[in-house]
Amino acid sequence: MSEFTSSKDANLRQLFSIPVLVAALGYFVDIYDLLLFGIVRLPSLRDMGLDESAASATGASILNWQMTGLLLGGMIWGVLGDKKGRLSVMFGSILTYSLANIACGLVKDPFTYKVLRFIAGIGLAGELGAGITLVAEVLPKKLRALGTSLVAGIGLLGAVVAYFTVEWFAWRTAYFIGGGMGISLLLLRVGVFESGVFEGVKEKENVKRGDFFSIFKRRERLFRYLKCVGMGMPTWFVIGILATFSNEFGKALGINEPVSPGLSIMWCYVGLSFGDLASGVISHQLQSRKKAVLYMMLFTLLFSLVYLFAGIRSLGLFYAITLFMGLGIGYWAMFVTIGAEQFGTNLRATAATTIPNMVRGTVVFMTTGFAYFKTFFQVPIAGAAVGAICFAIGLLSVLTISETHGRDLDFLEE
């Protein structure tokens, strides 16, 4: 019994070690700052003198700049993560988006706002991939799924804090709080150590590290990468279409009370946080990454169909279904973990950092498709058409990708 207790205590110490906690808190601040502009978009632009029409157009443009920054930042931080180390990227990204967000609290005109959100986007792109890669390499393989799920489960609660911070404080103060949390987090870097797996590869001068374009040089490697991206698409279908445009779906479904997209997104992220914690436990119990992702993806598909076609009339039930869809897409951390485990140490941070940002980038195609289908069909059918494509790609990807549970991560890409 004492030996079992000792082993259990050792596992808990590793799960709640400083690297895991710093990665989790870093992702918490990352998510807070990532969603903050969407929440304060209208009040901040109104304060700059824009009317409703101009605020809508300018807000969309600023959001596109932020998303472009995420795509560019994913490549920059991913390459740096394999060249310079996972830890340097984690803290470099935190510093970048923290300073950008503090500056956003001081901004006076839309153009400067746009530039600062672009810079913030670059910074926000590096946190999750570097954190997941570091945790995956630091923890023993038996705890890897639990550790990475803990990072995302804690981190995604940043969305809830962002929502209530804006409810309680002015938008400029909300930006200062986000930037202040990031700067404070940098103080926790004392005691955080670099991945031993990475340090071992770093000493080998003949190993090429962080070559993003090497992903495209081999057919098998490219398909491995695309499958990782494909697995994540249903997650952002739920967030980017069903939750973001929930006011349109609510109106089309005949819900009498107005649906708040901000509240829908918050409930979605509440479910997502709990789902991420659950996905690690499910993967651990089933001894399979693929089965955990597959079951949660099917759960998401079920509640997406309920959302679109069950004839919901109650606002409370509508938000509850959104919560359950968020719970289903809680395989987000697991899919990023699979991305990290699919690739060798010399390309791991590049893959794990760019994959989630590529998924976020597909939202542009989803929203474009949604707008196109709405010219022919009613809103629920248009949403279902986009969802059918996303779930088909997601299910095909998870069914055909190789299992990575228990895989030794000390290997290289040739």
**pLDDT tens figures, 225-280:** 999 999 999 998 998 889 888 888 998 988 888 888 878 888 988 898 888 888 88
pLDDT of residue 387: 95
Helical H segments across 187-329, by residue range: 196-202, 219-237, 246-253, 261-286, 289-309, 315-328
Residue type, 328: G
CA–CA separation, 325 vs 348, rounded Å?
29
pLDDT, mean of residues 145-168: 80
**Domain 1-189 shares a fold with domain 212-414:** yes
Decide: 354 and 211 in contact? Cβ < 8 Å. no
Question: Averaging pLDDT over each range in 8-17, 175-184, 208-217, 400-409, which range is the top one?
Answer: 175-184
pLDDT of residue 2: 47
pLDDT of residue 193: 53
Domain boundaries, given as residue ranges, for the chain: 1-189, 212-414
Residue 294 C-beta-side C-alpha neighbours within 13 Å: 14
| Residue from 44, 67, 57 nearest 240 by CA | 67
Q: Is the pLDDT of residue 179 over 60?
A: yes
DSSP letter for each residue of 335-384: HHHHHHHHS-TTTHHHHHHHHHHHHHHTHHHHHHHHHHHHTTS-HHHHHH
pLDDT of residue 4: 41
- Which of 10-19, 221-230, 379-388, 398-407 shows the lowest mean pLDDT across its residues? 10-19
Q: Is the pLDDT of residue 186 over 90?
A: no
CA–CA separation, 149 vs 154, rounded Å?
8
The model's confidence at residue 325, banded by pLDDT at 50, 70 and 90, is: very high
Domain 1-189 listed as CATH 1.20.1250.20: yes
| Residue from 232, 254, 245 nearest 383 by CA | 245
- Helix axes of 127-138 and 86-104: crossing angle, nearest 10 degrees: 150
Q: Which two tokens stand for residue 287?
A: 């001894």
Between 223 and 367, residue with greater pLDDT = 223
Domain 212-414 listed as CATH 1.10.1740.10: no
| Residue from 83, 76, 136, 77 nearest 346 by CA | 83
Tell me how crowded residue 299 is: count the other CB atoms within 10 A of its CB.
18
| Residue from 269, 49, 30, 36 nearest 174 by CA | 36
The model's confidence at residue 329, banded by pLDDT at 50, 70 and 90, is: very high
Residue 246, classed as helix, strand or coil, is: helix
> How much of the chain exceeds pLDDT 70, in percent?
86
Residues with Cβ within 8 Å of residue 365, at least 6 apart in sequence: none
Cα angle, residue 372 at apex, residues 367 and 376 outer, rounded to 5°: 135
Q: Which two tokens stand for residue 123?
A: 């910074």
pLDDT of residue 392: 97
386-408 confidence digits (pLDDT tens): 999 999 999 999 999 988 777 76
The model's confidence at residue 413, banded by pLDDT at 50, 70 and 90, is: low
Q: Is the pLDDT of residue 338 over 80?
A: yes
